[in-house]
Chain A
């Protein structure tokens, strides 16, 4: 039996008819065609599938689409506004915070929510914020640098 659900994804109302077991990650990728959200483990450890649910980062592979019927989702495709890259996106490119780019959408979503709540973090807070996301390419050093740089850009643009 399929369930008819409505999600507000990146500000756009999207409808889908999905079986109850459809993971939110698969719903976004396959039913809605938003393939920017990646699936790296399907058991909640790697964080590649992290999206924002009503603004809070969650694992979309550990969420059923039907559970979040009616809620707002932000994916990596929704981070840029009006064609302009967000400070987090720009900082990741500037600091070489990605290599293969597969884990990157999860880091970007996580960092975006983190910097919204904590615009001027210290080293330890940045580390804690991204501590649930795996990256096999970068060794994280430039990701940490990028989160700090994003905070800087955010502050510059707010100031």
Chain B
């Protein structure tokens, strides 16, 4: 299991990177963390003629946390974002999801933007971006565009990145006040891709009633499946008696939206069932966090 030969490019700046990418066009592949790409190369399941290694492009190694959200540069490693207190403060879901991405050693090398571009429907970060309605900035020689998550993930292992383009950063928007998030998943082994997983975000109104509730589901469709369940959830009066939400109805509403498939690890039926369970768990946990735990047991 050794990678096939390729022409190597090791640009030191963004400009140089874009020039090389323009030159090699569809024959080029970008190498960032390599934690998904290099296994494919080693198994000779991918054989790009040109590999454009961006690991020397220091200007892409950025994490910018602002009140509106977190912008993560193409070279920011999972571990760096996970450790970033500023990023966690602005968008806690990042940290909640990153803990579930593979193993710590993989996260030392893998990049957040790389995970998005890889667009594995079983991966956590695409679901996070989709749930939050974030975006990916794509640069090419002489221009750039910002692609919304809804348009970015186009199929299993397929994204909107065109030949000659580089995903330079991703933006994870912050949520309004009184919001909470959670990521719940079931994996076969700790650190494996999830059999099913659900990211949830809940925003409460001033009376601590559910004002908005969304989930994004992994491993149950060709791309992360986002469902807005605000209507089914609420608004429900906040009270010490609980949220009084018909969780089964919420789970059913999401289950109607997904299209899981059977594989060697799970049946489609199990994935559908599990997604229902995890929707409830994730939403309850997110709502709890949104209310800072002041609203009693759910």
Contacts and interface: CB of A to CB of B under 8 A. Distances in A.
Tell me, yes or no, whether A and B come into direct contact in the complex with CB atoms closer than 8 A. Answer: yes
A131 B103 contact: yes
Interface in B71-127: 79, 102-106, 108-109
Interface of B: 1-8, 10, 31, 34-35, 38-39, 41-43, 51, 53, 55, 79, 102-106, 108-109, 190-191
Contact of B105 (A19, A20, A132): A132
A44 B39 contact: yes
Contact of B34 (A62, A128, A133): A62
B122 to A, nearest CB: 15
Nearest to A50: B105
A132 B117 CA distance: 23
A111 B215 CA distance: 37
A57 interface: yes
A64 B31 CA distance: 10
B92 to A, nearest CB: 19
B2 A21 contact: yes
Q: Give the most central of A23, A64, A66: most B CB within 10 Å.
A: A64
A152 B1 CA distance: 40
Given A20-B51, A131-B104, A59 B35 contact: yes
Contact of A131 (B2, B3, B55, B191): B191
B38 A20 contact: no
Contacts of B38: 23, 44, 61-64
A61 B79 CA distance: 19
Interface residues of A, number: 29
Interface string A15-41: 000011101001000000000000000
A3 interface: yes
Contact of A67 (B1, B55, B102): B55
Given A20-B8, A23-B2, A42-B1, A58 B51 contact: no
A132 B42 contact: no
B6 A62 contact: no
Given A43-B39, A43-B42, A63 B106 contact: no
Contacts of A1: 7-8
A62 B191 contact: no
A105 B204 CA distance: 50
Nearest to B77: A56
Contacts of A131: 103-104, 190-191
Contacts of A64: 31, 34, 38, 53
A44 B10 contact: no
Contacts of A43: 1, 39, 42-43
Contacts of B39: 42-44, 62
8 contacts: A21-B2, A26-B2, A42-B1, A62-B109, A67-B31, A110-B105, A129-B104, A132-B103
